[in-house]
Amino acid sequence: MSGEITYADSYDFDERIERGTVLTFFFEYLDARSRAFEGIIEELAEEYCDHVRFVAVDTEQSPDIAMRYGIDVLPGVIIFNNGEIVEQVEGANSPEVYKDILDSLI
């Protein structure tokens, strides 16, 4: 099974994070760090596709979501479990940081 990253915006974000474990990737399309980090998110989506859903939010398209969660540094990741924040990580980190968090949840 391949990992899928679903894009969310202000209209469907809450619905996408309300059930299960969801890794949410905050980015801006023209931000070089965000674009480079996207490969790590894609690898994680492949590895964890059976247990975790992956959602991407373009902060330029949905600034209200970024403001709600205090996303100041891109890329940013928030991991939700049943709609509740489990972990929030700013900036690009190694895949192991996210694997450790996800492994503790599944």
Q: Is the Cα dihedral 13, 16, 20, 23 positive or negative?
A: negative
Claim: this prediction has a pTM higher than 0.85: yes
**Which pLDDT belongs to residue 91?**
84
CB atoms within 10 A of CB 25: 25
Low-confidence stretches of the chain (pLDDT < 70) are 1-2
**Which pLDDT belongs to residue 71?**
94
Rounded distance between C-alpha atoms, residue 28 and residue 80, angstroms? 20
CATH number attached to the domain at 5-96 = 3.40.30.10
pLDDT 10s digits, 36-50:
899 999 999 999 999
